Structure 1
Amino acid sequence: MSGYFVAFVVGTRPEAIKLAPLAHALAAAGVAPRLILTGQHPGLSAADHGLAGLPSIELHCPGLEDPLAHAFTVARKLSPHLDLDPPDLLLVQGDTSSALGAARAAHSQNIPLGHVEAGLRTHDRTMPWPEEDNRVAIGKLAQLLFAPTPDAATNLDREQCEGSIHVTGNTGIDALLATLASLPAVSPRRARRASAPLDIVVTCHRRENWGAGLTSLAAALLELGGDGTAAIEVVLHPNPCVADIMHSLFAGQRGISLSMPTTHRAMIARMRRADLILSDSGGVQEEAPALGVPLLVLRDKTERPEAVACGNARLVGTSTLRLLQEVRSLAADRSALARMARPAMPFGDGHAAPRIAAIIRRWLIDQDMNAARRRA
């Protein structure tokens, strides 16, 4: 395998978290990983996410503009690098504008593309926008499609994607389990009396919830924190547009504390201590079931229905009335809360990265052999 290399495109913190296990698995399999940092999340540190020491380039494309314009900028700035030193495979993860821009650049220069976390769908282009369009478009361009679940693979089959589809599990679970192994052990959660406030962690950042969604969420949290139903910690998002709004809504309010954006390790440590999580994050939807922490999903539709199907999550949106009903119901019925707290692993067993690495290694060998036959 000497001489083969795979380029990883990373624009956001979730991409870094989920691609780091795969970069290490590929290196262990003898395939050299290289890193392309788009800059979508300015200040993203490769070292903070287990990607230190990899050869890398930076495109300096902060994601502060329109997402479609950002994808175009990423494609434009990445293309000269791909032309100068084309990888044997370019890998993108998920559905960001960085991933879409990189996929388009690879396609335009005839560079093979692999899509990690392929096949997630809400089947609604507006929820989320533009992510649903992004992942559909990337799926049509990729030669290798790594679906985290059978349902995701079925979506790709139905769309008649031409790339080869592989059900691998989600590399985010690999990252979660590795993080848990590095944390101190915790005592089993004890049953709490029905009158005790719920310990709730909240994150909210998706574009579909900007404006009315955040306002109605705030109304519910202020009431729940104010009447003693819950002790609420709101973890701010790195996006300053969202963080500033959340700070203005919650700073100094009774029963609510604000936390600055934190590391993945610190966030996992905080989540596992919670009685309940409220979040619109895709990563949290994957992690909460594995941690055995009940989750209320702050969205009307989700591309991760497996979390709901296994009983660990409920899809509730951001309606103030609905949120008050759901949280107060769980606060009053601790047995229902306990049933949601049974750990489940709908998104994989923590071995997705070595599975994907093995598939990529085999694919590279096959591509090399096929090329040799054509030359003979």
Structure 2
Amino acid sequence: MSGYFVQLIVGTRPEAIKLAPLAHALAAAGVAPHLVLTGQHPGLRAADHGLGGLPCEELGCAGIEDPVEHAALVAAALASVLVRRQPDLVIVQGDTSSALGGAMAAHEAGLPIGHVEAGLRSYDRAMPWPEEGNRIAIDEIADLLFAPTPGAAANLHREGFSGTVHVTGNTGIDALHATLATLPRATHKLAAVGAALNIVVTCHRRENWGPGLGSLAVALVTLAAEGCAAIEVVLHPNPRVAEVMHLLFAGQPGICLSLPTSHPAMIDRLRRADLVLSDSGGVQEEAPALGVPLLVLRDKTERPEAIACGNAILVGTTTGKVLSEVRRLHADRAALAAMARPALPFGDGRSAPRIAALIRAWLIEQDRPQVARRRA
């Protein structure tokens, strides 16, 4: 073992899913991973995501309505942990308030920062808010910037940040491959021409709270009534969003509400769907890899690669746009089939060992000046 250890900041289920492959890859590379669970998603357990047994500290900072305040709470709670532990590197993933709080605390403590999933940009701080601002703020202070795609790396180079940029792929695809290996093999054929499409829906982004969810609901109820779609709406763990979904869809013919589910169960749902409607960043990465057509329920996306490869279409939540696209794909099965060809714009499933090797090499390089000074 090298004696190096890194602190991984985990606040949400997507962070746990995407950092689990990296934690294992770091351990295999001789760099010890230690966890900090911020508590942003209450009930999140390391063991549920293959992270059990790792050294772990819990901050107890449950998510609150104001994400800016939550980031500050995480930073304050984490400060003493970092000062006491003095990790060789602090790793944050994505753009949550936990990730921002973790980066802020590390920066204040004078510790180096690695940002997994760096460089994503919608170039609109309101879409999504606060995530767009969070990821920019993290990229500004990170020492190692692990960009999932060449496009994300180009964003970072264009903005001129001081951190070292590496194109690595997205660890979410590693997690997807690992999950698929645990599921029974499944073959899926698109619904026959004229038959109702099997549609899976998720929607939780703040930008869609209120009018967005309302206009989407009108479209889904209409599609179900027309008989061109059998719709499953998978509820989000956020109770505020779930409550609104219940009010909009409970008892509507042709629409089934499902409780929040595990990552493997969600992947199984996605791979069996004819069409997915979602505003989730993770689903935008997973759908192309699974070969599942996706309508993105957002007006802008920081993952344009899913659109460029032909697996996804940006539709927003406007009733007319959602209706027209679903009706078009219901009528034109050739167009739907063209969107169902698997693609890997977000990586080859080996991103975690790639990042782990880069981290180990960087840590060794940081040690060399100290060794040289001691020898002198």
TM-score, normalised on structure 2?
0.99
Partner SS for 1:136: helix
Quick one: structure 1 residues 191 and 74, their matched pair in 2 at CA, closer, same or farther if it must change by over 3 Å?
closer
Do 2:147 and 2:165's aligned partners in 1 also have CA atoms closer than 8 Å? yes
Partner of 1:297: 296
CA distance in 1, matches of 2:256, 2:190: 24
Partner of 1:360: 359
Q: What's the CA shift for 1:226? A: 1.6
Residues 1:283 and 2:293 aligned together = no
Partner of 2:233: 234
Partner of 2:210: 211
CA distance in 1, matches of 2:285, 2:272: 17
CA distance in 2, matches of 1:25, 1:362: 14
User: Which amino acid is 1:212 matched to?
Assistant: P
Partner of 1:272: 271
CA distance in 2, matches of 1:28, 1:94: 23
CA distance in 2, matches of 1:370, 1:301: 45
CA distance in 1, matches of 2:316, 2:32: 43
Do 2:191 and 2:198's aligned partners in 1 also have CA atoms closer than 8 Å? no
**CA shift digits 1:2-22 (9 cap, x unpaired):** 321011000000000000000
**CA shift digits 1:10-46 (9 cap, x unpaired):** 0000000000000000000111000000000000111
CA distance in 2, matches of 1:278, 1:42: 26
**CA shift digits 1:258-285 (9 cap, x unpaired):** 0000000000001000000000000000
The CA RMSD over aligned residues, in Å, is 0.8
CA distance in 1, matches of 2:120, 2:284: 13
User: Which amino acid is 1:293 matched to?
Assistant: V
CA distance in 2, matches of 1:62, 1:221: 33
CA distance in 2, matches of 1:82, 1:195: 59
Partner SS for 1:135: helix
CA distance in 2, matches of 1:236, 1:190: 25
Partner SS for 1:8: strand
Do 2:71 and 2:101's aligned partners in 1 also have CA atoms closer than 8 Å? yes
Partner of 2:49: 49
Partner of 1:8: 8
CA distance in 1, matches of 2:209, 2:288: 26
Q: What's the CA shift for 1:240? A: 0.5
User: Which amino acid is 1:304 matched to?
Assistant: R
User: Which amino acid is 1:156 matched to?
Assistant: L
Partner SS for 1:2: coil
Q: What's the CA shift for 1:227? A: 1.7
Residues 1:82 and 2:120 aligned together = no
CA distance in 1, matches of 2:369, 2:286: 40
Partner of 1:20: 20
Equivalent runs, 1:181-260 vs 2, <5 Å: 181-187=181-187, 189-260=188-259
Partner of 2:143: 143
Q: What's the CA shift for 1:186? A: 1.2
Q: What's the CA shift for 1:370? A: 1.9
Partner of 1:329: 328
Q: After alignment, is 192-201 or 26-35 more displaced?
A: 192-201
User: Which amino acid is 1:118 matched to?
Assistant: A
Q: What's the CA shift for 1:50? A: 1.0
User: Which amino acid is 2:293 matched to?
Assistant: P
Partner SS for 2:341: coil
CA distance in 2, matches of 1:3, 1:330: 55
Residues 1:107 and 2:114 aligned together = no
Partner SS for 1:42: coil
CA distance in 1, matches of 2:327, 2:140: 44
State the aligned residue count.
375
CA distance in 1, matches of 2:215, 2:36: 38
Equivalent runs, 1:112-191 vs 2, <5 Å: 112-187=112-187, 189-191=188-190
Partner of 2:64: 64
Structure 1 unaligned regions, length at least 5: none
Partner of 2:317: 318
Partner SS for 2:233: strand
Q: What's the CA shift for 1:191? A: 4.6
CA distance in 2, matches of 1:285, 1:167: 19
CA distance in 1, matches of 2:373, 2:282: 43
**CA shift digits 1:58-96 (9 cap, x unpaired):** 000011230000000000000001111110000000000
Partner SS for 2:6: strand
Partner SS for 1:20: helix
**CA shift digits 1:161-216 (9 cap, x unpaired):** 101000000000000011111111112x3353221000000000000000000000
TM-score, normalised on structure 1?
0.99
Partner SS for 1:367: helix
CA distance in 2, matches of 1:112, 1:184: 42
Structure 2 unaligned regions, length at least 5: none
User: Which amino acid is 2:366 matched to?
Assistant: Q
Q: After alignment, is 75-84 or 365-374 more displaced?
A: 365-374
